[in-house]
Structure 1
Amino acid sequence: MRKYLYVVLFLTGFLSYSYAQETVTGVVKDASGQTIPGATVVLKGTARYAATDLDGKFSIPAPDDFPFTLQVNLTGYQQQEIDIYELTGEPAEVVLKTANVLDEVVVIGYGTQKKGDITGSVASVPQLALKQPISSFDRALQGAAAGVQVTQTSGQPGAAVSIRIRGGNSITGGNEPLYVIDGFPVYNSNADANAGVTAGPSINALSSLNPSDIESIEVLKDASATAIYGSRGANGVVIITTKKGKAGQNTLTYDAYYGTQKVLKKVDVLTSARDWALLKNDARANSGKAPYYTQAQIDALGEGTDWQSEAFRSAPIQNHQLSLTGGDDRTRYSISGNYFKQNGVLRNTDFERYSGRINLDRDFSSKFKVGVNLTASKITAQVANNGVVNALLAMPPTVNVYDANGKYTYQSEFETPLGNPIATLEKEVNQTKTYRVLGNVYGEYTFVEGLVGKVSFGADVINNKQNRYVPSDIYQGANSNPTGKASVGTKFSSTWLNENTLSYSKTFNQKHSLNVVVGYTQQAFETESAIAASEAFVTDQLEYNDLGSGSVYSQPSSGSSAWALNSWLGRINYSIDQKYIFTVSGRADGSSRFGKDKKWGYFPSAAFAWNISREDFLSDYKTISNLKLRLSAGVTGNQEIGQYLSLATLNSNTYFFGGQTYIGFAPNRIANPDLGWETTAQYDAGIDLSLYKNRINFVFDAYYKKTTNLLLNVPIPYTTGQATALQNYGSVENKGIELGINTENFTGAFTWNTNFVFSVNRNKVLTLGDGANYIISGANIAKVGQPLGSFYGYQTNGLFQTGDDIANLPTINPATTKPGDRRYVDINGDGKITQADDRTLIGNAQPKFQGGITNTLSYLNFDLSFFFQGTYGNKLFNQNKQQLELLTGQQNASVTALDRWTPTNPTNVIQRAFEDPAAVNTSRYVEDASFLRLKNVTLGYNLPKAIAAKIHASQIKVYVSAANLLTWTKYTGFDPEVSRNEQSTLTQGIDYSVYPGSKSFLGGLSISF
């Protein structure tokens, strides 16, 4: 049973009547008699307040008139009001109950609501998720909220992740959620944030926000919660609230951790020079060529080079945060500074962030207040070349890292040249720098009780610069003479926002509650970019810092674009006796991105919640603390398609006449005045159930989403001068269930809480419009009737063996097929293997279900938490494996090559070695990527207060933590959490040359004064 917190207020009498003002003093304690610091005592109706000290004591001036009321507040507990009629010297004793889960306040679109009044599907991310060693807060969503799928696109420090809330809605449009940071909406598009010069993974724009600054994260999932964001709500909304100051709680805190990282695992490739030499000779023999190595040379070969061991390292990670929070009766402040540095597990890769934040709120009167939220950051990252991981796997073990002169080996000496990946990592400059300022200022005025107007202005400014320099003494610089090639790219983006809202709250007859929000917002975005490059430098010393000293110039490029969005919004919440709750919301958006006849879109929603537990017929069921039914329906949109796509545009071209070069322009797009929104209609039914005085809490949702008017490039007649045009065609559906369970297993001196989330989503392409049945992109296909993220290729059914009648069996090329070659399934039964008729679906990247479970335990001054996350049923196309099993003898091979087909080893799995095979997309390379991962485990200890008091500290905590400690999976690649094509929905689930993930071990310290 939940324990009650007893607050015993010992009220002394007055000290004197002459010149000293009378005071009320007291102490705050819990049920065990332990005093509690940090509770707030407010004299109701005034600006007077007091905060309990380290011993739980407080003192507050008493008013001249009796009676008066004191309000006692402490986060996690219900507020209690104490009426004081006279100062008798006798203590007043008050019992504070632990806060009811229904009374917890969560942030929603353009306001806040008690959980008990919410009609939509809203999930809160546990604070524990933000305490992991992560470069950006979006990584904290992994396994922390039901219905949220987070895919790591790269293990590169600071790299982006891809997030899907209740599945992907769009094929070519954006699928990432909208982030609202202290009221400022941000869409996290890698294309918008990076200048496009560095040959590596995109650095996440959201990593500019320090995770330690975040107070809460709310995920809005259904249309009732997201429709108020209209054209940007189809993919869900993530609301970020940063930490604010609290009156009377002036606190200085230093948080730090330091640790080390290592690669999760290595891919099993040949590291024995002798084994690879035998493979080389075998491939040449099967190609009708003489051996490359003599037996004497093979016998003389050493162990060989383990290129992965040469590249991977033990890498440090550290974080330092200094924050100051507090305030008085009129002003609250929160100021923080942060330094974060993460070295990558690959040589010469890193991520470094300096950031600062100021949040300030000021009450000028009881009716008027203003506030400022401002963050600034600088990010510097050295990223790995996109091809370097592939080179690490493909470089033969017979090649040394260094030549006889101690210099880096230039390349492999075989028919397929490969650059030395260690030289690439160490010598190539692949740097990105990002400066960002994000903030807003607001004013809020209460006209009459319950009627509040709010005006805010904000801006988001990003300056990104990317530098690349490739010296000529590494393989990538081979075409430059005499030395090096350099490029510099810049991208400057700015967004401004103005929001104007009016809200009204009123309770009538203590039974009818009304809350209304209306508003008008306007937002505009503008970006400029430029790229310049040159090569053939006299020296490497200047790198990218003097492009003019290169003797060969590349054609520069530049561009700019802009968009604007004007909106009207409104929401009405109406509650009857806290039993029946109705919500109606809507938004009208006018976007510059769409055709002249489709600029405006309208996005309504409606929801109903029934607090069944408040009905009389359940009053005798003491087991049920809360039972609520939720129903919602609504429409949201998607505008993430880029700029000017509804307009006819021209593209510059180079022409040659009479030996002269001329620049001209030609049409590259036709106008589409009817280009409109992708529209997502969503229906949700949910149940919230709490048992045994809220010790067991269930949240269950079932939903259906259908997205229509997909933005697709549709083939058009060539008489138009173009091959395709962006049009509204096709539809996609998502449907699924979500379950969240939170339990308090033990309370008291020993506590144990568990949080479990589970979700299932089924995605399907319904139509692609105009008779189209599929869209193929590499190994991926979007096909009617099938989910997005499907893989397309040949089904394999073993190998041809000696004695098989190959001439009469279905093959891709009967003339060249021999024993040891791969067999494929003849899908249509016509006796031959063709692309058009025999390629089929061979897997899908979407999980059948996913989930996470967090356990938090504490005893005395110790606390322990451990978090498991996993997915089941998702596949990956292992393109690394595809390349490593070509067995050409020109590059390295998977360790499976040791079991390759030979006349004396007639295996039915690994084909024979051959110098020039074709890379075929087959089911052999589609692997089960299901996994269960111990994502984080942390053990902490709070030093006794007597020790902390010796340095005048209120709290000292030390802890040790490990991230990604254990992973259970059948996947043979580096990491089952991967997607080469970053945020793409059409081409998801491809693993090729992706920077591998890492595990970390660290120790931390937190001191508060």
Structure 2
Amino acid sequence: MKKKLYLFSFLSIFMITLGINAQTTTPLIQSKLEGTVVDQTTNEPIIGASINIKGTTHGVQTDLDGKFYFQTGQKLPYTLIVSFVGYKTKELVVDGSPVRITLSADVQELTDVLIVGYGTQKKKDYTGSLSSIPTELKALPVLSVDRLLQGGISGAQVTQSSGQPGAGTSVRIRGGTSIIAGNEPLYVIDGFPVYNGDGAIDSGVTSGPSINPLSSLNPSEIESVDVLKDASATAIYGSRGANGVILITTKRGKKSQMAVTYDAYYGVQNVISTIPMLNAEQWGYLKNDALKDSGKAPLYTQEQLDQLGVGTNWQDEAFTEAPIQNHSISVTAGSDKTRLLVSGNYFKQEGVLINSGFDRYSGRLNIDHDFTDKFKFGLSLSGSITHADVAPDGVVQNILAMVPVVPVRDANGEFTVNSSYGAAVANPIATMTKQINETKTNRFLFNGFGEYKIIEGLTAKVSLGTDIIENKQNRYIPSTLYESPAGGSASKGSLSSLNWLNENTISYKKKFGEKHAFDILAGYTQQKTTSEVFRAGASNFASDEFTYNNLGSGTVITAPASSASEWSLQSYLARLNYGFDERYLFTFTVRADGSSRFGADNKWGTFPSAAFAWNISNESFLKDTEEISSLKLRLSAGLTGNQEISPYQSVARLSYYPYVFSNTLVPGFSPSSFENPNLGWEKTTQYNLGTDISLFNNRINLTADVYYKKTEDLLLEVPIPYSSGLESAFQNLGSVENKGVELSLKTLNFVGEFEWTSNLIYSANRNKVLSLGNGIDFFIPVNPATTTTPSGIVKVGEPLGSFYMYKFDGLYQEGDDFSASPLANTKAGSQKFKDLNNDGKITQADDRTVVGNSEPLFLLSFTNTFRYKNFDLVVFINSSYGNKIFNRSAADYELGTGFTGAYATLLDRWTPTNTDTRIHRAVEDPSAVLSDRYVEDGSYIRFKNISLGYTLPKKVASYLGLNSARVYVAGQNLITFTDYSGYDPEVNRNGQAALNSGVDVGIYPGTKTVLGGINVSF
């Protein structure tokens, strides 16, 4: 795999050399002065550029051909001032007609202002660590905003845990800081904080991958995505900043501009890869060998084996080519006082597993209005309706487990009920075809603000927002399915959530003299969330016709369940930015949070930070150095917190338990948790040293950071004595560290008619558990992927996500001593494991060890953008190196029992004539013994996105009645280099959980997509 990384040094990117220039002839307009304004790089006309005669009130704008003319009494020569948004203003003296004026893009103007917590700041004055999604990646078609982060931000590890349409991702900013509490970053959408803690909106009814709440946001509405990483940047969010903060800003209307924009694409998806399995004949031989090993008669005669043939390829039956489409339309308009944006979106993605999919309807209204020069108002309002047909949990495992000798349908055309060759497996095609497993979500997000300028530089701002979620989940398992109880089973669930936020801030910006600049912010915020969950179910219906719509007709009623919870947060915040002579910059931030989630004696926490930056390029000894455009050194330190645990963990609670007295069921209650008045925040201390360097007129831009994070007072659910009546309780114990390096290198390789830019991003993080409290060295978490031997461990000195199992030591051969083996019926061809303590026997207590972890050694992405005339090409490559994946599926389906479907690797299984192999003999032992034999290298290099587009010349577009038009084709996940044998190296069975990460147990596989799209503006 290491050799594959060198491919980055030899990548040869396709360059488009075909250019099309549309030639038209325009009659000469007689005037005192006429001319044309064009883009310096593309030579395309600039529509709407302003041309003013200096010192006068005379001014005009360019037309659709970029042309302008003056007919005044002003005598030549005179000076013109030419300007347009996004271009450098130009002054030039003209003395006759015609005149051709070129404007160059003002890159600095477009990127100089950063969105930071509770405001904006000039990039040259910023002291923290912040990364922004590159423009070329924002334009790529994705389902949700979290997908944009993958490979686009240094220090962000993004894992797409499931290929299920609408499913969420796991995002880690500079590593995981917590073991049990939340590790996801805080998302702030147009000023409203949204925590994507478990990545799911779930009332507990739907089986299968959780649906991502961020998928309700239309990516084409997004203007910018900025990621705050160090403590100086995130401390303004205090108790919610330990895992990083992602600021999402949506598009808004602009003054004196009106446009209608339509974006659309349509494509097809296919599964990235399938797993080679034994066909029917090959499986028949395996079945006979397993029976023979147990001393039983073979199932098939040789004649029957010859007749089995290929049989059923269950993966071919389950996977399909699936369409994906997206349509977005937006209208922007603006006057001197009012700017607005209205947009609508329809997105539909069918799954590569039959009968799965996701669709979204969404709309947005953004308004900004200036009542006076001092008072302005703004609002952001969005609504969405999403629907997901979710692949039932375990169905991919059943696809692999079904034996190939079983047909999908019987002789009567009905679905085969199940496979019963030692392990009863439900027909997965019937399951996906007949089960109803759906999630419907309505979401309304509003945030409005009023801002008043009290005096010059002093501004007060009040905002009020709300996030309302209504989620419904329905499931029905018909009586005809094997997994159904008698008469079918139905369940319904709902979740309602109301989250409101009020923020009140006052800011003061003032420059004293030529050298002293102050930017002061203070504020008070309050937030509260209330949630309700309800579930009900029934079974044994007289008919399947009503599905989940008539629970009362079921004769067996599942006990209904309901719950309600709420939490609230109050905060005080302050920030001081001070700059001296644009050389020495200081930032001091503090936030105090009071959270209802913590104990009565420990509800409040204070989170300070400080940062210093030195603009070295503004020093006299470098000011005249033309090669150095800018050079900045940054240093920061601070404290942030984590409150992401379920409410009420610090209080004494009672739970309902029925008891039987005298053969009578009597309701009762018993304690389910004890009061812990001292339960408080996880606290993360972080130090950051960074530099920003721009060379050769900003042609080369390098950002580098090194950091250290230590999280203490971990929120751990620890065992307590059984005599207490409980098993565990939350306490503040233990610590975890993360340390790493981040590099981002952006280069402008060629400029002019042919333009080539590159963006290389490198991240390396090292995670380690420092302490688990009370002298505890390790604990083994319950693995939700299996009920057999756990595969993970949390151990002091090791990273989170460590795998804990036997070490594979080959296979026993004839004449070996089998007495040390932990396996019954050990003989030649059985698996052998290392005796780590050399006591002559293999035991779970003494011979299991850490055999790797899911943490990558580094992440690397490489984006190249090419533009030639009207063509553009983006090639985005993403990679991960050094992470391990526990392939639980391989452990299960390489057993060789003949009870289930089997991996094709069993063709190389041990036999008396094939002893030089790592695959054990066929044996009727249904228990998988976990060893590093199934811990695989998860490294990969993936062509994540390749996009080729063509923009119509403006003259052609205007002839068609358009302001602009672009068509493109794109491919996603087209090529992957990996040694991993599963469906996809981007996998995590347990979603966003820090425990047991990197486990593959039949995950909904990822997809590769080819699509075509169009962007037009009227």
Counterpart in the other structure of 1:354 = 361
Counterpart in the other structure of 1:856 = 865
Counterpart in the other structure of 1:834 = 843
SS of 1:801's equivalent in the other structure is coil
**Greater CA deviation, 974-983 or 949-958?**
949-958
Counterpart in the other structure of 1:787 = 799
Q: Does 1:706 align with 2:710?
A: yes
* Partners of 1:130 and 1:137 within 8 A in 2: no
Matched residue count: 977
Q: Pairwise mapping of residues 226-305 of structure 1 onto structure 2 (< 5 A)?
A: 226-270=234-278, 272-305=279-312
Aligned match of 2:468 in 436, 457, 461? 461
Aligned match of 1:394 in 372, 395, 401? 401
Q: Does 1:949 align with 2:963?
A: no
Q: Pairwise mapping of residues 571-586 of structure 1 onto structure 2 (< 5 A)?
A: 571-586=575-590
Tell me how far 1:129 sits from its aligned partner. Answer: 2.1
Counterpart in the other structure of 2:888 = 879
**Greater CA deviation, 695-704 or 23-32?**
23-32
Inter-partner Cα distance in structure 1 for 2:332 and 2:52:
19
Inter-partner Cα distance in structure 2 for 1:103 and 1:559:
47
Aligned amino acid, residue 407 of structure 1? E
Q: Does 1:762 align with 2:749?
A: no
Q: Structure 1 residues 863 and 991, CA, compared in 2 at 3 Å: closer, same or farther? A: same
Counterpart in the other structure of 1:523 = 527
Q: Does 1:923 align with 2:932?
A: yes
Inter-partner Cα distance in structure 2 for 1:845 and 1:638:
23
Structure 2: gaps of 5 or more residues: 1-30, 73-77, 782-789
SS of 2:39's equivalent in the other structure is coil
Aligned amino acid, residue 804 of structure 1? D
Inter-partner Cα distance in structure 2 for 1:422 and 1:87:
79
Deviation per CA, 1:507-528: give whole Å up to 9, x if none.
1212211111111110000000
Q: Pairwise mapping of residues 8-407 of structure 1 onto structure 2 (< 5 A)?
A: 28-31=37-40, 34-37=44-47, 39=49, 52-56=62-66, 74=84, 76-78=86-88, 80=89, 98-100=106-108, 104-190=112-198, 193-270=201-278, 272-407=279-414
Tell me how far 1:951 sits from its aligned partner. Answer: 2.7
* Partners of 2:674 and 2:729 within 8 A in 1: yes
SS of 1:284's equivalent in the other structure is helix
SS of 1:476's equivalent in the other structure is coil
Counterpart in the other structure of 2:756 = 752
Tell me how far 1:714 sits from its aligned partner. Answer: 1.8
Q: Structure 1 residues 44 and 281, CA, compared in 2 at 3 Å: closer, same or farther? A: farther
Inter-partner Cα distance in structure 1 for 2:582 and 2:434:
66
Aligned amino acid, residue 333 of structure 1? L
* Partners of 2:169 and 2:199 within 8 A in 1: no
Aligned match of 1:820 in 826, 829, 843? 829
Counterpart in the other structure of 2:452 = 445
Normalising by structure 2, report the TM-score.
0.92
SS of 2:548's equivalent in the other structure is coil
Inter-partner Cα distance in structure 1 for 2:132 and 2:701:
13
Q: Structure 1 residues 590 and 25, CA, compared in 2 at 3 Å: closer, same or farther? A: farther
Aligned match of 1:537 in 535, 541, 564? 541
* Partners of 1:534 and 1:552 within 8 A in 2: yes
Counterpart in the other structure of 1:9 = none
* Partners of 1:132 and 1:963 within 8 A in 2: no
Aligned match of 1:417 in 424, 430, 437? 424
Percent identity over the alignment?
A: 54
SS of 1:554's equivalent in the other structure is strand
Deviation per CA, 1:469-495: give whole Å up to 9, x if none.
000111221x223xx210001000010
Inter-partner Cα distance in structure 1 for 2:53 and 2:82:
9
* Partners of 1:184 and 1:458 within 8 A in 2: yes
Tell me how far 1:43 sits from its aligned partner. Answer: 12
Structure 1: gaps of 5 or more residues: 1-14, 16-22, 63-67
Counterpart in the other structure of 2:28 = none
Q: Structure 1 residues 24 and 217, CA, compared in 2 at 3 Å: closer, same or farther? A: farther
Inter-partner Cα distance in structure 2 for 1:245 and 1:773:
57
**Greater CA deviation, 344-353 or 299-308?**
299-308
Q: Structure 1 residues 158 and 567, CA, compared in 2 at 3 Å: closer, same or farther? A: same
Q: Does 1:867 align with 2:876?
A: yes
Counterpart in the other structure of 2:21 = none
Q: Does 1:978 align with 2:990?
A: no
Inter-partner Cα distance in structure 1 for 2:80 and 2:175:
49
Inter-partner Cα distance in structure 2 for 1:665 and 1:954:
69
Counterpart in the other structure of 1:628 = 632
Counterpart in the other structure of 1:480 = 486
Deviation per CA, 1:372-404: give whole Å up to 9, x if none.
101100000101011110011111100000001
Tell me how far 1:912 sits from its aligned partner. Answer: 1.0
SS of 1:475's equivalent in the other structure is coil
Aligned amino acid, residue 877 of structure 2? F
Counterpart in the other structure of 1:738 = 742
* Partners of 1:50 and 1:248 within 8 A in 2: no
SS of 1:193's equivalent in the other structure is coil
**Greater CA deviation, 691-700 or 183-192?**
183-192
Aligned amino acid, residue 540 of structure 1? D
Inter-partner Cα distance in structure 2 for 1:819 and 1:568:
70
* Partners of 1:38 and 1:249 within 8 A in 2: no
**Greater CA deviation, 159-168 or 710-719?**
710-719
Deviation per CA, 1:593-627: give whole Å up to 9, x if none.
00011100100000000010111111343211111
Counterpart in the other structure of 2:693 = 689
Deviation per CA, 1:54-91: give whole Å up to 9, x if none.
333579999xxxxx99996645444x48799x999999
Counterpart in the other structure of 1:940 = 949
Aligned amino acid, residue 565 of structure 2? S
Tell me how far 1:945 sits from its aligned partner. Answer: 2.5
Tell me how far 1:140 sits from its aligned partner. Answer: 1.0
Tell me how far 1:287 sits from its aligned partner. Answer: 1.3
* Partners of 1:460 and 1:495 within 8 A in 2: yes
Q: Structure 1 residues 51 and 201, CA, compared in 2 at 3 Å: closer, same or farther? A: farther
Tell me how far 1:212 sits from its aligned partner. Answer: 0.4
Q: Structure 1 residues 40 and 260, CA, compared in 2 at 3 Å: closer, same or farther? A: farther
Tell me how far 1:721 sits from its aligned partner. Answer: 2.4
Tell me how far 1:546 sits from its aligned partner. Answer: 1.2
SS of 1:275's equivalent in the other structure is helix
Q: Does 1:489 align with 2:493?
A: yes
Inter-partner Cα distance in structure 2 for 1:300 and 1:95:
76
* Partners of 1:100 and 1:694 within 8 A in 2: no
SS of 2:426's equivalent in the other structure is coil
Tell me how far 1:326 sits from its aligned partner. Answer: 2.0
Tell me how far 1:655 sits from its aligned partner. Answer: 1.5
Deviation per CA, 1:732-777: give whole Å up to 9, x if none.
0000000000000000111001111001100000000011111212
Q: Does 1:800 align with 2:806?
A: no
Tell me how far 1:97 sits from its aligned partner. Answer: 6.7
Q: Does 1:1002 align with 2:1008?
A: no
* Partners of 1:572 and 1:585 within 8 A in 2: yes
Inter-partner Cα distance in structure 1 for 2:62 and 2:372:
26
Tell me how far 1:631 sits from its aligned partner. Answer: 0.2
Counterpart in the other structure of 2:683 = 679
SS of 1:751's equivalent in the other structure is strand
* Partners of 1:190 and 1:205 within 8 A in 2: no
Q: Does 1:428 align with 2:435?
A: yes
Inter-partner Cα distance in structure 2 for 1:59 and 1:766:
73
* Partners of 1:523 and 1:564 within 8 A in 2: yes
Q: Does 1:895 align with 2:904?
A: yes
